[in-house]
Amino acid sequence: MVFTGMFKRILGSEEAPQISDNPFGDKGGALVEAVSTEASQQLAETPPILLHRDEIIDERGRIAGYRFYARTSNGGATSSGEFISLLRDEAVTATARRRLALIPIALDEWESHDYAQFATENTAYLLDTPRSEADADAWPRIVAAIAAAGARYALRDAALPPPAKALLPQARLFLIDFAAHDLSRFESIVKTLRQHVPSLKLAADRITTWTERRLCLSLGIDYCLGGFASTPDEAEKNETINQSRLVLIEMLNLLRRDGELADLAKVAKRDPGVSLQVVAMANSPMAGLSTPVASLDQAIMVLGRESLYRWLTFSMFRTEPQRDKDEALLELALNRARFLELSAQGILPKAQAEELFLVGLLSVMDALLGMPMAKVLEQMHLPQEVQDVLLRSEGRYGRYLMLALAMEKGRSEQVAKLAEDLGMDFTALPAHSAAALQWAQEAMEHNRG
C-alpha cells in the first residue's frame, strides 16, 4: 500500500522538528574527587557533552520509555562516535530491556556506525531524513537491517520521501512535532494518519503542559514527549495537603533522622488508614510471621526501617485520590532522589547524602499536590535546610538540587560548573545518572501499583 500523494499533502513541506529542551536519569556510585585545575581548563576548551533523556509518557500517565540524544554545552552537534559512546556509558541497552528506547539517527548512519549494538525488541531507531537524495532509496534496505538486528524503526513528520511513507504501517511509532503546527493542522495530521494507518502508534513531541497532553489524548495520540511530567497541572489547584500524605511525609522525615520507633507509631496513629496499612503489611505473607501482630508498634518493629521507608516512599505518591500522572512523578522523583544520593557519596557524610534522597523525593511535591512549593512547606514539619533548598535552591543542598535539574535538562556546561564547585568529577556523573535510572525502574517494577 502506498500513501505517497496523501502524505505529500500533509507532511511534505514540514521542516524537521527540534528536539525538546526539557527533561526527563551498571550501577554507579564510585567515590569522586575534586576537579583539578587542568581538568577545569580542559572542560573550558572542550565543550562537555551529556546524554539527554526525554521521558515518553503513555496514555496511562506512566513512563513508557525515553528518547536519547546528545548535545554540547554550546548547542553544537555531536559526532556519531561520541553519541554511541554516550549511549554505551548510559547502559541504554539495559534500559531498553524494560522500556522503549528511542534513538535518533540519520538514515545513512546505520551502515557506517555500530548502532546495532543497542538493538532490542524495545529499541526504536528514529530515522531522520537522508542527508542526500541519493540515499533516499536506502530506506527499504536500512529498515530491513534494523529488523534483522531485532529492533524497530520510528519516523517523524519531516519531509519524508516516498520510500519512507510506504513504510509507515510497520513503524514502531510516528512522531509529530506539536509546537511546529497550529492546532488545525496538527488535528488534520492525526486524523489522516488514524484513518489510513490505524495501527500506527502516534507520539506528540514538545508537549509542555498537562493541558496540552490532555488535548493530544483526546485527538488520539498514544505518547507524549516534553518537559510537562514534573510540572504542576494548571487544572489542579489545591489549598491543603491530604492528611494521610502529611503523616507519611512526617514518618519519612523521622526515619531519615533515625527517630525512635515509638515516635513513628505515634505519628502513624494520627491517620487510621495509615495505621491499618502498616499492620496489614506486617501481617502479609511477605513478612513471614507465624503469629499475626495486632498493634501498630509491633508492626513497625517487625517491618524494620528499610521496608517501612520503602513503603512510605511509594505510599506518599499513591495516596487516594490517585491520578494518571502520579506514577510518572513517582519514578521521576525516585530517579532524582537516587542521583542526588549517589552524587553526594564520598563528599558528604552518609546522613546528609541520605537527606538529599529525601530532598529529591520532595522536590516534585508542588506538581504532585497541585500547589506552590511555599504553601506545601507551610504544612510540613521539615528541617530548615531542606526547606531552603526546596523553596529557593539555597543552603547546603542547593547546588546539589541544581545539579540534578541541570542533568535532567541536559545542560552540560552548567553541570560541569556545578560539579567543579561541589568537588565532583564531571565524568562520573553519567554513571550516577545511569545507575539512578536503573534503580528507579527496578523499584517501580518491584512495587507496581
Establish if 385 belongs to a structural domain: yes
pLDDT of residue 256: 78
User: Per-residue pLDDT for 18 more than 50?
Assistant: no
User: Per-residue pLDDT for 90 more than 90?
Assistant: no
Establish if 235 belongs to a structural domain: no
* Distance in angstroms (rounded) separating the CA atoms of residues 266 and 417: 45
Q: Are residues 201 and 292 in the same domain?
A: no
User: Per-residue pLDDT for 385 more than 60?
Assistant: yes
Would the CA dihedral through 385, 389, 393, 399 be positive or negative?
A: positive
pLDDT of residue 73: 62
Mean pLDDT calculated for residue range 279-297? 79
Q: Are residues 346 and 272 in the same domain?
A: yes
Closest to 49 (Cα-Cα) out of 403, 430, 423: 430
Other beta carbons within 10 Å of 157: 22
330 CB burial (10 A radius; 0-12, 13-18, 19+): buried
pLDDT of residue 130: 61
Between 12 and 425, where is the model more confident?
Answer: 425
The four Cα atoms 89, 343, 335, 433 give a dihedral, to 10 degrees, of: -10
* Distance in angstroms (rounded) separating the CA atoms of residues 198 and 196: 6
Closest to 51 (Cα-Cα) out of 88, 4, 16: 88
Mean pLDDT calculated for residue range 343-358? 89
User: Per-residue pLDDT for 449 more than 70?
Assistant: no
User: Per-residue pLDDT for 179 more than 90?
Assistant: yes
Establish if 81 belongs to a structural domain: yes
* Most trustworthy range by pLDDT among 215-219, 382-386, 444-448: 215-219
Are the C-beta atoms of residues 386 and 362 closer than 8 Å to each other?
yes
Q: Residue with C-alpha cell 531524513? A: 129
Band (pLDDT 50/70/90 cuts) for residue 108 is confident
Between 439 and 288, where is the model more confident?
Answer: 439
pLDDT of residue 12: 39
Between 55 and 160, where is the model more confident?
Answer: 55
Q: Are residues 366 and 278 in the same domain?
A: yes
* Distance in angstroms (rounded) separating the CA atoms of residues 279 and 296: 6
Establish if 250 belongs to a structural domain: yes
pLDDT of residue 379: 77
* Distance in angstroms (rounded) separating the CA atoms of residues 224 and 56: 6
Total length of the chain: 449
* Distance in angstroms (rounded) separating the CA atoms of residues 156 and 104: 10
Domains in the chain, number: 2
Compute the mean pLDDT over every residue in the chain, rounded to the nearest whole number.
83
Establish if 403 belongs to a structural domain: yes
Q: Are residues 220 and 286 in the same domain?
A: no
Reduced to 3 states (helix: H, G, I; strand: E, B; else coil), residue 196 is helix
Q: Are residues 198 and 248 in the same domain?
A: no
Are the C-beta atoms of residues 251 and 221 closer than 8 Å to each other?
no
Q: Are residues 91 and 212 in the same domain?
A: yes
* Distance in angstroms (rounded) separating the CA atoms of residues 290 and 58: 42
CATH number at 208 reads 3.20.20.450
Q: Are residues 201 and 262 in the same domain?
A: no
Supply the range of the domain harboring residue 84: 4-36+49-225
Establish if 238 belongs to a structural domain: no
Are the C-beta atoms of residues 424 and 402 closer than 8 Å to each other?
no
Last residue of one domain, picked from the residues 174, 193, 225: 225
Closest to 250 (Cα-Cα) out of 449, 343, 386: 386
Band (pLDDT 50/70/90 cuts) for residue 302 is confident
Which helix (H) or strand (E) segment is 72 a member of? Answer: strand 63-72
Q: Are residues 249 and 359 in the same domain?
A: yes
Angle in degrees, CA 205, 211, 212, rounded to 5: 25
pLDDT of residue 132: 60
pLDDT in tens, 24-48: 333 333 333 333 344 445 545 565 7
Mean pLDDT calculated for residue range 372-381? 84
Would the CA dihedral through 161, 162, 167, 168 be positive or negative?
A: positive
Establish if 42 belongs to a structural domain: no
With a pLDDT cut of 90, the percent of the chain lying above it is 42
CATH number at 436 reads 1.10.3210.10
What is the Rg, in whole angstroms, of the alpha carbon atoms belonging to the chain? 24
Establish if 317 belongs to a structural domain: yes
Q: Are residues 91 and 177 in the same domain?
A: yes
Paired with 31 in beta bridges are: none
Q: Are residues 254 and 398 in the same domain?
A: yes
Q: Are residues 214 and 280 in the same domain?
A: no
Between 6 and 406, where is the model more confident?
Answer: 406
Band (pLDDT 50/70/90 cuts) for residue 439 is very high
pLDDT of residue 291: 76
pLDDT of residue 134: 60
Q: Residue with C-alpha cell 518537559? A: 227
Distances (CA, A) of 306 to 99, 122, 310: 27, 33, 6
Last residue of one domain, picked from the residues 225, 257, 281: 225
Mean pLDDT calculated for residue range 274-278? 88
Q: Are residues 192 and 325 in the same domain?
A: no
* Most trustworthy range by pLDDT among 76-85, 140-149, 255-264, 276-285: 140-149
pLDDT of residue 421: 94
pLDDT of residue 4: 38
Last residue of one domain, picked from the residues 225, 256, 275: 225
Are the C-beta atoms of residues 56 and 102 closer than 8 Å to each other?
yes
Strand 152-156 to strand 100-106: parallel, antiparallel, or no bridges (unpaired)? unpaired
Buried b (16+ CB within 10 A) or exposed e, 269-301: eebeebbebbbebbbeeeeeeeeebeebebbbb
Q: Is the pTM of this model over 0.85?
A: no
